[in-house]
Structure 1
Amino acid sequence: MDPTNESAATLPAATAKADATRRTELFIGACVVLISLVSLFVAVSANRTQERLLAASTWPNLQYSSSNANREGKRAISFNLLNNGVGPARIRSFDLRYHGKSMRNSSELLRECCLRDASQTAPTTTVSTVRRRVLAPNEEVTFLRVPLQASTEATWQVLNREAFNVQLRVCYCSVLDDCWMLDTGKPEPEPVKACPATPAGSGWEN
């Protein structure tokens, strides 16, 4: 047999084998890339799931309430904040408003809402610090309490009626620095990027 013819016959077979090898290598490479992409997607999804679980496990939720009697049944108007979430609530700003106007302290609130005559005596009040306070889960703070007293009953009754016109805007954050704004004029607290400053001159933090 002619050696030249034998070499010519084996050349297509060698080329076909090389092509098959390249296709196999390309297929393996594509599989490796695909597996890497799937692994990356799974890792990112797992990380996001863990972030959501962590955020859910530290979620605070502030609720506002008012009442005109304490647990013992004694007549006292109280304004309260309750954290009924599962994580601590770090209060960053506090704005109490009466008919839309910011009240710097309890004295200003009573003057605006209830002291119709300059000769009237303001009732005794108890104020608790709110801003920069951390409320644990299921912890409640009464930031303003006004007990009923015979000498100031008329003013107390006015406040009891006007309590429904008191509005709060309280911004608070979780331990992960996710923040929400509680606006009692809206049904639910809303997420915010950052908390606004407390109005200048506010005495609710003192």
Structure 2
Amino acid sequence: MPAPESTSTHPTRRNWDGIAALIAALIGLLALCVSAYTAHIQREQARAQVWTQLQFGSSDPDMNLLVVNKGIGPARIESLRLYVDGKAQPDWKHVMDALGVKLTGYIQSTASDTVIAAGEKLVTLKINNAEDWKLLREQTARIRTRACYCSVLDDCRVFDNRVRKKADADVAVDRCERSEDEEFTE
């Protein structure tokens, strides 16, 4: 004779240990997501605190060519190239020869492989007299600059005023590329 079927009057018992483990796993996953998001936000804040932006220009009253760090963190120049009429020049003597400008005297500073602090102006070329400055200023439109520089967090940018669109003149890059044949050494 078959055994009679059990008809229990107790409701089905839930597996509370399984439910507790599932809830704990969900809480752990949520905590991991919050932690990852917080780390991302902290990284973005750190990047903003060391943001760099180099600008290349001239100062007529001071008769000089200069580099200014308009950012809020130091900028490390990894690669610098100066072009006259599209041809890379290795130093100021070659720049002046290519421009056809004979200066009676000038003072130069090295910008290549240099760190420029936030707000710092680095005079790269100081002309000694007004006549020489006038000769050089008439030719500066022929000079173009390409510089790759990085922040202390290795966020790198390339400034290249050879491009047609101003918006494309300063762009983020993964890393700086050097071309020893084209590098400006002063």
TM superposition score normalised by structure 2: 0.84
Matched residue of 2:125: which SS?
strand
2:156 equivalent in structure 1: 179
Percent of matched pairs sharing the same residue: 26
Matched residue of 1:204: which SS?
coil
Structure 2 CA distance for aligned equivalents of residues 100 and 194 of structure 1: 23
Structure 2: stretches of 5+ with no match in the other structure: none
1:118 equivalent in structure 2: none
Give the counterpart letter for 2:27 in structure 1: I
Deviations 1:76-127 (A, max 9, x none): 2x21101111111111111011122111111111111134xxxxx5431211
**Is 1:190–2:138 an aligned residue pair?**
no
2:124 aligned residue (131, 134, 143) = 143
Q: Shift of the alpha carbon at 1:199? A: 3.6
Structure number with higher helix proportion: 1
Structure 2 CA distance for aligned equivalents of residues 88 and 180 of structure 1: 13
2:14 aligned residue (21, 24, 40) = 21
Structure 1: stretches of 5+ with no match in the other structure: 71-75, 116-120
Deviations 1:130-157 (A, max 9, x none): 12211111111011122326xxx3x643
Q: Shift of the alpha carbon at 1:50? A: 0.5
Q: Number of residues paired by the alignment? A: 180
Larger Rg: 1
Give the counterpart letter for 1:84 in structure 2: K
- 1:47-86 aligned at under 5 Å gives the runs 47-70=39-62, 76=63, 78-86=64-72
Structure 1 stretches of 4+ moved >6 Å: none
C-alpha distance 44-203 of structure 1, shift in aligned 2 (>3 A) = closer
Give the counterpart letter for 1:8 in structure 2: S
Contact residue 88 and residue 182 of structure 2 kept, 8 A: no
C-alpha distance 202-46 of structure 1, shift in aligned 2 (>3 A) = closer
Contact residue 62 and residue 89 of structure 1 kept, 8 A: yes
Structure 1 CA distance for aligned equivalents of residues 136 and 35 of structure 2: 57
Contact residue 81 and residue 182 of structure 2 kept, 8 A: no
- 1:24-173 aligned at under 5 Å gives the runs 24-70=16-62, 76=63, 78-115=64-101, 121-148=102-129, 153=131, 156-173=133-150
Q: Shift of the alpha carbon at 1:32? A: 2.1
TM superposition score normalised by structure 1: 0.76
